[in-house]
């Protein structure tokens, strides 16, 4: 049974996919469930790969364009839908996304939306209204789609204010525009010398850092060539840069303090480091184990709070990829602006500074620490480093040079830190997760 007592109808082509997409939107927007979890729950019941791709596209387009869609619907709804309208609101959002941004023919998008409403015990009372509103949306689709300032319109005010305060309006606008674009799939190849081979096999290109980027990938990752043989793993190209900042790690003892799901652990192990991978979550650490097993790589796995960890023999290098707001990954997680609040943006700053402080204890004198986050929020990034450097901790910033980051000078700040933003390119290819990383050396 789908939400609202509505069963999945397979007799009408395309209806089951729309029902799944609406359920996902409702799960996210009403119940605060993440897109990944909602997709996992909803996609299981769909037999066809094409249907799964369509469901994902409707859900992500609805979220990426929710500001514009809400504005358009607001013009045609005399008053907001009442709480007892059930899934009617999500039906409208999903259908508007199809009409305006996916160019689904109006007869299909509107007919399927109305059918869906009629089958739902609450939304059925609004099926006439849904029909009328969607016809008006369809009639103005070109105007809505051509609207300028779409990035700003689709960014909740509280996030916009944070980014314009931190980066200025122009950069905030570029960040917001980048969030409208479906990101490519980036892979890290276990044997870097085979990156060209895998790019050829997978129809991708090799980026300046050696990642393979595949645009427009469809279907299951697990079904792509090389996955089962452990030849590569999924990792945004920007997420691979903090490990590159450690330089040559062959034979070094490296501590990966917040390791799961293990992208950086795999990079370190593939580069010949002797890795200890720590994570607080047993379940997530088990994923690191499975991923390493598939890749034929090894690391010591330790389930522990990074704040409480101690070591008799401190490490040559420590990487702390701390838990954070993850606002640098909104391209991949367009649900995030609707799941988090302004207050939650700084919820993790205390644990971040405690982990960073302990990373210093766990590093040998002369050793290197890389602190990193997939956050755009300065409290989780620059502010953490400034407050560590203002303390009496025995560390100094060890600025990274563009040459150490594959010649990508635009990703290196004046202070020699990494700051990738979603609109940045790696070489010729725009689109990166937002990552911050600072390298420190212990005295
Ligand atoms: C951003 S993720 C790490 C991503 C990982 N480094 C990678 O590249 O795949 C943050 C991780 O920190 C873990 N974590 C959160 N608090 C922690 C703590 N106090 N000690 C250790 N790990 C922690 C979370 O379980 C989560 O897996």
Strand order in the sheet with 185-189: 205-206, 212-214, 185-189, 232-234
What does each of the 443 residues of the chain score in pLDDT, given as a tens digit? 444 445 566 678 899 999 999 999 999 999 999 999 999 998 877 767 778 889 999 999 999 999 999 999 999 999 999 999 999 999 999 999 999 999 999 999 999 999 999 999 999 999 999 999 999 999 999 999 999 999 999 999 999 999 999 999 999 999 999 999 999 999 999 999 999 999 999 999 999 999 999 998 888 899 999 999 999 999 999 999 999 999 999 999 999 999 999 999 999 999 999 999 999 999 999 999 999 999 999 999 999 999 999 999 999 999 999 999 999 999 999 999 999 999 999 999 999 999 999 999 999 999 999 999 999 999 999 999 999 999 999 999 999 999 999 999 999 999 999 999 999 999 888 999 999 999 999 99
Distance 43 CA to ligand 1 centre (A): 27
Distance 277 CA to ligand 1 centre (A): 10
pTM of the prediction? 0.95
Nearest-CA residue for ligand 1 atom 27 is: 260
Ligand 1 pocket, CB under 6 A: 239, 258-264, 278-281, 284, 305-307, 321, 323, 351
Pick the atom of ligand 1 nearest to 374's CA.
1
Domain at 3-147: CATH architecture: Orthogonal Bundle (1.10)
- Which residue spans within 166-211 are E strands per DSSP? 185-189, 205-206
Pick the atom of ligand 1 nearest to 285's CA.
27
Counting ligand 1 atoms within 8 A of each CB, the residue from 284, 323, 357 with the most, and so the one to mutate, is 323
**What's the pLDDT score for residue 48?**
74
Distance 268 CA to ligand 1 centre (A): 16
Pick the atom of ligand 1 nearest to 307's CA.
19
Distance 278 CA to ligand 1 centre (A): 8
Pick the atom of ligand 1 nearest to 321's CA.
6
Distance 256 CA to ligand 1 centre (A): 9
Angle at 371 between CA 365 and CA 373, to 5 degrees: 170
Cis peptide before 261 (omega within 30 of 0): yes
Q: Work out whether strand 395-397 and strand 300-303 pair parallel, antiparallel, or are unpaired.
A: unpaired
Give the span between the Cα atoms of 135 and 115, in whole angstroms. 15
Q: Are 60 and 121 in contact (CB under 8 A)?
A: no
How does 375-406 read in b/e, with b if 16+ C-beta sit within 10 Å? bbbbbbbbebbeebeeeebebebeebeeebbb
Domain at 185-442: CATH code? 3.40.50.150
Domain parsing of the chain, residue ranges: 3-147, 185-442
Pick the atom of ligand 1 nearest to 322's CA.
10
Distance 352 CA to ligand 1 centre (A): 10
Give the three-state DSSP class for 146: helix
């Amino acid at each position: 049974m789908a939400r609202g007592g509505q069963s999945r109808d397979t007799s009408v082509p395309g209806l089951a996919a729309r029902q799944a997409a609406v359920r996902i939107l409702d799960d996210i927007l009403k119940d605060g469930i993440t897109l990944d979890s909602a997709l996992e729950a909803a996609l299981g019941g769909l037999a066809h790969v094409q249907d799964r791709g369509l469901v994902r596209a409707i859900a992500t387009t609805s979220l990426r364009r929710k500001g514009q869609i809400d504005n358009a619907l607001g013009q045609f709804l005399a008053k907001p839908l009442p709480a007892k309208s059930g899934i009617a609101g999500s039906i409208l959002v999903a259908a508007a996304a199809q009409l305006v941004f996916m160019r689904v023919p109006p007869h299909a998008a509107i007919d399927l939306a109305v059918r869906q409403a009629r089958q739902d015990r609450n939304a059925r009372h609004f099926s006439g209204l849904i029909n009328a509103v969607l016809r008006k949306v369809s009639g103005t689709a070109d105007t809505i789609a051509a609207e300028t300032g779409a990035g700003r319109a689709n960014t909740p005010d509280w996030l916009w204010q944070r980014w314009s305060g931190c980066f200025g309006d122009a950069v905030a606008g570029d960040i917001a525009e980048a969030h409208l674009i479906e990101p490519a799939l980036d892979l890290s190849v276990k044997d870097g010398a085979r990156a060209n081979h895998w790019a050829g096999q997978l129809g991708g290109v090799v980026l300046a850092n050696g990642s393979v980027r595949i645009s427009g990938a469809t279907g299951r990752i697990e079904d792509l060539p090389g996955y089962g043989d452990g030849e590569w793993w999924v990792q945004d190209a920007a997420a691979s840069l903090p490990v590159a900042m450690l330089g040559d790690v062959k034979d070094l003892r490296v501590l990966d303090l917040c390791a799961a799901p293990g992208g950086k652990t795999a990079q370190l192990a593939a580069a010949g480091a002797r890795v200890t991978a720590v994570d607080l979550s047993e379940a997530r650490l088990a994923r690191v184990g499975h991923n390493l097993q598939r890749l034929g790589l090894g690391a010591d796995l330790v389930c522990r709070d990074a704040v409480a960890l101690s070591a008799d023999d401190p490490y040559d290098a420590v990487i702390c990829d701390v838990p954070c707001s993850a606002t640098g990954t909104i391209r991949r997680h367009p649900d995030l602006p609707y799941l988090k609040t302004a207050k939650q943006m700084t919820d993790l700053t205390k644990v971040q500074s405690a982990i960073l402080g302990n990373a210093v204890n766990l590093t040998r004198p002369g050793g290197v620490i890389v602190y990193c986050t997939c956050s755009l929020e300065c409290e989780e990034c620059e502010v953490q480093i400034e407050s560590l450097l203002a303390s009496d901790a025995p560390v100094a910033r060890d600025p990274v040079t563009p040459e150490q980051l594959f010649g990508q000078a635009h990703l290196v700040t004046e202070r020699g830190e990494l700051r990738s933003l979603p609109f940045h390119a790696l070489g010729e290819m725009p689109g990166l997760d937002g990552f911050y990383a600072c390298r420190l050396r212990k005295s």
